[in-house]
Amino acid sequence: MLVSTAFSQVNRKRSKQTKQKTVSQEVFKAVNGVLKSGIFHIRQSWSEETDYDRPVHIKVPHGVGPFPVSIMLHGRGGTGARKLQAQRGMTDRIVIAPDGYKKGWSAQRPDVDFIRQIIKYIKTCKITDGSNIAIHGASNGAGLLNQLMIELEADTFHHGICSIGGLRPDRHDGTNFLWDPTGGANFTTPIVPAKGRRWLQINGT
């Protein structure tokens, strides 16, 4: 579920639930396809939360577009707001910086579907160039980006930039990439990642 608190407050409800889910019904749309800077939320439920509104920070450049999109995934302990502020010099594209739950990303949460729903929404907006979407992940965010590279469909995003982060050893068995089709962290099912994406890996010593 896509909701917006850019104009109103949303109460967060927290309780236990064993099944992961993302509500697909969208209750907020950009007016006439016009996307604005601010915050919107994706509502999800999983084992730790029920109907939890996950914040997504967004900065839209001036002009009519369509603009390319850069999705920035922060490291552990970071926030989308700080990530967005750090990218304030990027004025030629739409910059999106979601918040990881409790300032982090985890394979045991529906983070892949969180990013999928963000992209799905962004593509409905006229100002967006849906054929030019990049995802940059740093540290813990790079771990999520590796998971997105393996699991997300070919038409969701087109470029990946991975900074100081590697692939979990349980995501490849020496022959195949692995995933958990239930959305959990039991990576035993082979999967063939989408082809055709551009990839940049940045590491340091």
Q: What is the mean pLDDT of residues 68-90?
A: 93
How many C-beta atoms surround the C-beta of residue 17 within 10 A? 14
d(CA 79, CA 176) in angstroms, rounded, equals 33
Mean residue pLDDT across the chain: 84
Number of continuous H segments (helices) and E segments (strands) in the chain: 3, 11
User: Could you list the residue range(s) of the whole structural domain that residue 35 is in?
Assistant: 2-202
pTM of the model: 0.83
Length of the chain: 205
Q: Which residue has the tokens 């990303």?
A: 105
Longest dimension (CA), the chain: 50
* pLDDT at 184 exceeding the cut of 90: no
Indicate which CATH number applies to the domain containing 43. 3.40.50
pLDDT in tens, 123-175: 998 899 999 999 999 999 999 999 999 999 999 999 999 998 878 889 999 99
pLDDT in tens, 16-74: 333 445 443 343 444 445 688 999 999 999 989 999 999 999 999 998 889 999 999 99
Helix (H) or strand (E) holding 41: strand 38-46
Contact 129, 93 (CB under 8 A): no
Q: What is the mean pLDDT of residues 99-109?
A: 92
**Dihedral sign for Cα atoms in the order 113, 147, 199, 90:** positive
> What is each CA distance from 51 to 16, 47, 80, 183, in whole angstroms?
10, 11, 20, 17
Q: Which residue has the tokens 């999520």?
A: 144
d(CA 156, CA 130) in angstroms, rounded, equals 8
* Number of domains the chain contains: 1
Task: State the pLDDT confidence band at 94, using cuts at 50, 70 and 90.
Answer: very high
E strand segments, 82-186: 94-98, 128-138, 159-163, 177-179
